[in-house]
Amino acid sequence: MEIVSYAVTAALAYLLGSIPTGFIVAQVKGVDIRAVGSGNIGATNVLRTLGKPAGILVLLVDMLKGWLAVVVLTRLVLGAFGLTANGAAREVDEIIAGIGAILGHNYTCWLQFKGGKGIATSAGVLLALVPWALLIIMAIWIVVCVATRYVSLASIFASLALPLASWLTHESLTKVIVTAAMAVLAIYKHKGNIRRLLDGTEPRLGQKAEEPK
């Protein structure tokens, strides 16, 4: 029964995470976010292209997707299958939900499996799973972003620090391993940004991104 509940959680979390918030918000304003700026559907490109209110809205909703998947969806699924929402089953279900939501955001089925980089959705997942580790990497993100004005570089540094932050805050070995996998995925999704950082063409915060090629 637990295996079936995990499969249901994974599927529903993926669908929740796959809601393309940035794309929808931009469409409401008559813009295809994939054809402007960096072409990414995430909050940073929406912020650069459509302004602060739209960017903040996308950021918060994308975070909410991750948090809801871990905190609310897991309880609903476990309850539906008559399983206790605590102990090992709960931790596994929460991890599956978090990963499902991030993969849904990064590879949304609604946009030919092309999505965002998953930073905001990952933050929502981390808020539910490892809140103290999230606090540490948020501090790192802020310092790097303020010092360099590169959102991507701040996200990469925060991702690199995530597994260590989880370990320092005494999370379980399972969560340390999972956060390490999340960090690898986040950095992989920034491969284009890494190339632009090395080339000196990555836009800083407040600058418009180049048109996608």
Same domain, 44 and 144: no
Q: Are residues 104 and 135 in the same domain?
A: no
Residue 17 has pLDDT above 70, yes or no: yes
Examine the domain organization and report whether 73 and 169 are in the same domain.
no
Considering the domain architecture, whether residues 93 and 3 belong to the same structural domain is answered as: yes
110 and 18 in a single domain? The answer is yes
Choose the final residue of a domain: 114, 138, 162.
114
Q: Count the domains in the chain.
A: 2
pTM of the model: 0.93
Q: Show the domain range for 174.
A: 126-213
Distance CA 145, CA 140 (A): 8
Separation of alpha carbons 9 and 50, rounded Å: 34
Would you say residue 40 has pLDDT above 90? yes
Above 60 in pLDDT, residue 210? Answer: no
Same domain, 109 and 131: no
∠ Cα 60 213 202 (to 5°): 60
133 in the same domain as 75 = no
For residues 196 and 142, membership in a common domain is answered with yes
Domain limit, last residue, from 79, 114, 149: 114
Q: What is the pLDDT of residues 65-112, one digit of tens each?
A: 999 999 999 999 988 887 766 667 788 999 999 999 999 999 999 999
Q: List the alpha helices (DSSP H) in 29-118.
A: 43-50, 52-68, 74-80, 87-106
Whether 108 contacts 47, CB under 8 Å? no
Are 65 and 142 members of one domain?
A: no
Q: Residue 147: which H helix or E strand, with range?
A: helix 131-148
Give the type of residue at 84: T
